[in-house]
Amino acid sequence: MISFLKKLFGVNTATLQQNALAVETPSAPEKPPLGELATLPLEDRCNEVISSAEAWPPSPQIAVGWGQSVGRQREQNEDSIFVLSTMLMTNNTQTPFGFFIIADGMGGHQHGEIASGLAVRALSTHVLRKLYLPMFNANPEPPDQSLQEILEDGIYEAHRTIIKSFPGSGTTLTAALIMGEQMTLTHVGDSRAYLFPANSPGQVLTRDHSLVKRLEELGQITAEEAVQHPQRNVLYRALGQGEPFEPDVSTFPLPHHGHLLLCSDGLWGVIPEKEIMAIICSTPDLHLACQALLDAANAAGGPDNISAILLRLTN
């Protein structure tokens, strides 16, 4: 390989000298001596400082609200959440840092609430230790892993912790890591992340690891049938539920305007997306917006625990 690269960039001096002679033709333009710079008269624009109209816009401001409800038909809350939003000083610039997790302990399994709590603690501890705390060193060094690797390692650690501590239990987990201009999501199960960009329709950023979603993707049932399907709570992938275990990890450019919503299926499975969007857009206070989402889910029967983390991104 090295010899190839040398060949690629190396110069055969003899060949070049021969060729230099060969290229002397009447049509060849006269070449000024090397190093002789042109002496054009100076114009104002020649001395202009290099500038750009397209300067980087400042990073978006992140505001966050959250809320939880046990619902109307469950006796205990098996969901767990984690919320951290701050600014870090990196490379002499303020960098937004946010980490948000929702985990929905699996009902019908043992210790669902413990599994979701363990998962949230294990992942948040891992990310804060690897990424956040080193930023407080006198000379902060960037992590030796990528953001996606840190998240992926963290969710595997959470998975192993649950299997070891409470075998048989399980939980979903959806987490969003905001670092600078990027938002990295990791996801297992059927909790969801929604993006509602300003003046654009909302989009689901995560893909449910559920039986009905798979059937829907295969064209065997419609989206409407999936909502009513008796096995809509059956997951084929969850933390603590054995192999094969593979989290989804993906990174998106952070929008400078709009909302990001993380929620459990106690919300999205009960309220249509349009209604969620209408509540978010009509309620400027984020905590009140979360409360309104919980109220709407409970008004629709509240069949499951409800958790929501709502972020507003503004410049």
Partner 1 sequence: MKQALLSVAQKTGTLHPMPNNNVAKKGSSSSEGTRCLWSFECEDEVRGTPTYANGVVYVGSYDNNLYALKASNGEFLWKYPTEGGIVSRPAFADNNVIVGSEDKSLHVVSARMGKSIWTYQTDGPIRSSPAVAEGHIFVGSDDACLHAINILTGRRAWRFDAGEMVRSTPAVSADRIYFGTESGELFCLDFSGTTKWRFKAKRAFTSSPTVAQGAVYIGSLDAMLYAVDAKSGFNIWRFRLGKGSISSPCTSDKYVFTGAIDGVIYCLDARSSKEIWRFTAEQQVTSSPILFRDSIYCGSVDGNLYALEYRTGRLRWKYQIGKPITGTAAVGEDIIFVGATDHRVYALTA
Three-state DSSP state, 121: helix
61-69, strands of its sheet edge to edge = 61-69, 306-314, 258-263, 192-197, 203-204
- The CB-of-247 to partner 1 minimum distance in angstroms stands at 11
* For partner 1, the closer CB: 226 or 311: 311
Residue in 177, 174, 184 with CA at minimum distance from that of residue 237: 174
Give the span between the Cα atoms of 168 and 170, in whole angstroms.
Answer: 7
Question: What Cα–Cα distance (Å) separates residue 164 from each residue in 170, 180, 241, 242?
Answer: 12, 35, 11, 11
**Min dist. Cβ of residue 274 to partner 1 (A):** 26
Q: Which two tokens stand for residue 61?
A: 């401001």
Look up residue 148 and give its two tokens: 């996606």
Nearest distance, CB of residue 249 and partner 1, angstroms: 6
| C-beta of 56 vs 230, nearer to partner 1 | 56
Query: Given the complex with partner 1, which of 62 and 290 has the nearer CB atom?
Result: 62
Of residues 30 and 243, the one with the C-beta less far from partner 1: 30
Question: Residue 3 corresponds to which tokens in the numbers above?
Answer: 């010899």
What's the closest the beta carbon of residue 173 comes to partner 1, in angstroms? 17
Nearest distance, CB of residue 66 and partner 1, angstroms: 25
Q: Which is nearer to partner 1, 184 or 210 (CB)?
A: 184
The CB-of-170 to partner 1 minimum distance in angstroms stands at 24
Question: Which CB, 36 or 224, lies closer to partner 1?
Answer: 36
Q: How far is the CB of 59 from partner 1 (least distance, A)?
A: 7
CA angle 205, 207, 211 (to 5 degrees): 160
Q: In this structure, which amino acid lies at residue 90?
A: T
> Do 191 and 265 contact (CB within 8 A), yes or no?
yes
CB within 8 Å of 165: residues ≥ 6 apart: 114, 118
Q: Which SS3 state, helix, strand or coil, does residue 47 take?
A: helix
Cα 308 to Cα 2, 67, 173, 254, 276: the distances in Å are 55, 6, 13, 19, 11
Cβ atoms within 10 Å of 276's Cβ, excluding its own: 26
The SS3 call for residue 131 is helix
Is the Cβ of residue 179 or residue 267 nearer to partner 1 in the bound state? 179
For the chain, the C-alpha Rg in angstroms (whole number) is 27
The residue among 184 and 191 lying less far from partner 1, judged by its C-beta, is 184
Q: Which positions lie near partner 1, rule CB under 8 A?
A: 1, 4-5, 8-9, 11-12, 15-16, 19-20, 22-32, 34-38, 40, 42-43, 45-52, 54-56, 59, 90-91, 93, 95, 142-143, 145-149, 179-182, 184, 248-254
Q: Supply the minimum distance, in Å, between the C-beta of residue 156 and partner 1.
A: 16
